[in-house]
């Protein structure tokens, strides 16, 4: 049975990664196909005229670069040169892990309502024993089923023992739910700093080029140099802001899922503990995440 469950878990993980990869590649291809068209149309609408042509009827290449400031995504990428590579990598990483966490943290996957309702109902009606309840949890393979399974393994023990077993299993599931969220937080933290570094280096290079060319008095050349230097900051913020928003949203979703699993786990404790099976009222316990006692040890339960 453990080997079969492990294979099922690996299969589910592989399918999630495959679906995530497909979505990421589809979005990247769509962005690459749409950006040049959008950029060109915006330039044409803003100028209101076609590119200048020479006597032979061909477009004048010097007119497009008259200002020296890029106006569409392709020109921006060319002007940024090697600085575009880390930003593209950061975008792919944030997009990949963001989609993967959205898929993994679906409520229907973490806490499947049909399984939970059937499981608790059968426990209340006395239709399950320890072996059948454990087999049902292992068959479901959801995070809440894994938490229930840790408590079922202590079937008939005191409520404190069942509670501690559920706490241990819950901590493992919480770590799995929070997996890869630090990657999104890291992208949101590093990309603005990387953009600021590129801006500082770009401005130093721009002032150096102007000084060597003896064009200190030319405001246009100075403005172009500063504008190009600020591109890296713009790219860093454009990646960091969505990454931070996604990280905060997913972190809040994890917290809400943990609280819901906490409430459901309490029902299991009151149904399978020794006090419940003997007909005596069990002490009401409540799981707490992240609490610490004065001695510094984690304090994860509270008697009401």
Contact 287, 259 (CB under 8 A): no
3-state helix, strand, coil in the chain (%, to 5): 75, 5, 20
Which residues of the chain are modeled with pLDDT < 70?
1-71, 73, 214-219, 279-304
264 Cβ contact partners less than 8 Å away, ≥ 6 residues apart: 111, 116, 120, 144, 148
Q: What is the pLDDT of residue 25?
A: 53
Residue 286: per-residue pLDDT? 46
pLDDT of residue 42: 38
What does the DSSP assignment read for 9-56? Answer: HHHHHHHHHHHHHHHHHHHHHHHHHHHHHHHHHHHHHHH-SPPPB-TT
What is the model's pLDDT at position 90?
Answer: 93
Q: What is the pLDDT of residue 279?
A: 64
What pLDDT does 126 receive?
86
- The residue extents of the domains of the chain are 1-47+68-291+299-304
Q: Which pLDDT belongs to residue 187?
A: 94
Total-model pTM = 0.67
């Amino acid at each position: 049975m453990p080997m079969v469950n492990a294979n099922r878990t690996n299969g589910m993980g592989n399918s999630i990664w495959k679906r995530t990869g497909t979505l990421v590649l589809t979005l990247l291809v769509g962005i690459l196909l749409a950006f040049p068209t959008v950029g060109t149309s915006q330039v044409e609408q803003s100028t209101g005229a076609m590119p200048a042509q020479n006597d032979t009827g061909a477009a004048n290449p010097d007119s497009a670069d008259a200002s020296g400031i890029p106006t569409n995504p392709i020109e921006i990428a060319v002007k940024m040169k090697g600085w575009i590579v880390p930003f593209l990598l950061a975008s792919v990483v944030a997009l990949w892990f963001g989609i993967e966490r959205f898929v993994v943290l679906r409520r229907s996957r973490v806490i499947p309502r049909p399984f939970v309702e059937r499981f608790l109902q059968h426990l209340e009606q006395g239709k399950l024993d320890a072996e059948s309840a454990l087999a049902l949890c292992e068959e479901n393979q959801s995070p809440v089923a894994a938490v229930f399974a840790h408590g079922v393994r202590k079937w008939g023990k005191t409520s404190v023992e069942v509670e501690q077993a559920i706490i241990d299993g819950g901590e493992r599931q919480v770590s799995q739910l929070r997996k890869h969220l630090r990657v999104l937080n890291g992208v949101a933290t590093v990309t603005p700093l990387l953009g600021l570094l590129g801006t500082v280096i770009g401005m130093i290079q721009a002032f150096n080029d102007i000084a060597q060319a003896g064009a200190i008095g030319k405001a246009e050349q100075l403005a172009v140099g500063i504008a190009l230097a600020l591109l890296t900051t713009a790219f860093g913020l454009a990646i960091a802001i969505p990454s931070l928003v996604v990280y905060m949203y997913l972190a809040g979703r994890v917290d809400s899922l943990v609280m819901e699993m906490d409430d459901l786990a309490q029902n299991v404790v009151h149904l399978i503990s020794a006090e419940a099976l003997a007909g005596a009222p069990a002490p009401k316990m409540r799981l707490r995440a992240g609490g610490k006692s004065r001695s510094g040890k984690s304090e994860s339960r509270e008697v009401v």
